Amino acid sequence: MTAISRNLCWAGSFIALAVANRFGLVADTNAATIFVILPALWVATGELGRCSWRKAAV
């Protein structure tokens, strides 16, 4: 899985949570907590640094 596809999955989870919150499937307090936790998980599980295209160019 490339870095772009992995990040698109994370972005999709944010959008899915926002849509679920908008339609009342997720309570506001729970959504607020998840919106705090998701970025931390995104950073913790991601490969921080240069993308593979940039690594190949250097």
Q: 9 vs 1, 3, 24, 27, 58, CA distance in Å?
A: 10, 10, 22, 22, 27
pLDDT surpasses 60 at 58:
no
Q: Write the single-letter amino acid at 11.
A: A
**Cα gap 15→55, rounded to integer Å:** 30
Residue-wise pLDDT for 16-53, tens only, equals 999 999 999 999 999 999 999 999 988 888 766 555 66
